[in-house]
Amino acid sequence: MRAVIREGTSLEQLLDRPGAVRPGEELDPNVVAKYLAGTDSPFQGVPEVLQFPGGASNLTYLLRYPEGQLILRRGPYGHKAKSAHDMVREARVMHALKKSYPYVPNIVAICEDESVLGSHFYVMERIPGVILRRDLPDGLTLTPDETRVLCLSVVDRLIALHQLDHVAAGLSHLGKGEGYVARQISGWSDRYVRARTDDVPDFAEVMRWLDANKPAREVAISVIHNDYRFDNVVLDPSDSLRVVGVLDWEMATLGDPWMDLGNTLAYWVQADDEPFRQGMRRQPTNLPGMLTRDQVVAYYKEKTGQSVDNFGFYYVYGLFRLAGILQQIYYRYFHGQTKNPQFAGFGASVTYLESVCLAAMRRN
């Protein structure tokens, strides 16, 4: 089964395409060329530098050469949390995962010298393909049946990651594992408090509830992505129901896979959600044929054989963590450390997410 491409639309038009670099986020192509000349980069010379529109924190650029393309990722400008946006760690995680999880791009170079571009960065191969953002790209049509196939394909790649034998794959160094749930509740509570601005709620009731309701131990210890969404998945341009790549491994670690699922579903805006949440939608999870959040949980249970008594805890955690991520970004905007206009409404989104957390807690 393949998605239908409208007549007159080329495959190239469906590929995720970069645009001009945003003001204040420029890279010097001559500096990039000089650095890559001393690496094993397959391309040499001065590249044309373009920027991808996605990414509210780390910045992703296309390096275009006459004979091919590479991707450069670097951390954001302005204030950042101490443990956030670690480009070197992300690249090393991807390098370690590549042998066992083929959807990871190959790493070309890792730079730990901040004097080169003002931040750690890495360069990797580009996996050409379709990346779904808020809506389907022009020219791509999906029936409800095709949408369901796509949805299951994306969820299956997350399940495959969770079922990876990290010990046999030599990935035990990726994280601490046991105690993950408690560390996340404590860590995100602390990060939210430190990033809070005076125009957003304190989330005190939510943090108390999460601490009081956290499970005694992890359901399992798995490799988890920690930011698994449609816009971090690359689809085959000739069969856009098939996943060929998974991106953005910055927060990958060893932890509880149900926490990872909670994170994913915090972004999952379905067709019957209220208007404000529809406005926050970043992926086409509202299409006819998409599984609802409850259906994703049921499918995950069926495929993994795992079950939990209180998925509400993991969902509220995912919502709170999302609020923390948005607030860390909004903090930079609030204090004038970034001028990206897309961040201006993040404070309102954080406020809204508290109400979603409280409603989920009441239902639970």
The verdict on 267 and 342 lying in the same domain is yes
Residues 6 or more apart whose Cβ sits within 8 Å of residue 301: 307
Residue with tokens 């129901």: 241
pLDDT in tens, 306-322: 989 899 999 999 999 99
The verdict on 197 and 305 lying in the same domain is yes
Residue with tokens 């795992």: 306
Q: What percent of the chain has pLDDT over 90?
A: 76
pLDDT in tens, 257-309: 999 999 999 999 999 999 999 999 999 999 999 999 999 999 999 999 998 98
What residue numbers bound the domain in which 104 lies? 17-125
**pLDDT of the residue at 138:** 82
Long-range contacts of residues 43-51, Cβ cutoff 8 Å, at least 24 apart:
43/67, 43/68, 43/70, 49/21, 50/18, 50/19, 50/20, 50/21, 51/18, 51/19, 51/20, 51/21, 51/22, 51/25
Indicate whether 145 belongs to any domain.
yes
Q: Is it the case that residue 336 has pLDDT exceeding 80?
A: yes
The verdict on 86 and 216 lying in the same domain is no
Single residue among 75, 92, 125 that ends a domain in this structure: 125
Report the CATH number at residue 60.
Answer: 3.30.200.20
State mean pLDDT over 91-120: 93
Read off the pLDDT band of 160 (50, 70, 90). very high
Question: For residue 289, what are its two tokens?
Answer: 């044929």
CA distance 27 to 42: 20
pLDDT in tens, 5-46: 544 444 455 677 788 998 888 999 999 999 999 998 999 999
Indicate whether 299 belongs to any domain.
yes
The count of domains in the chain is 2
Indicate whether 132 belongs to any domain.
no
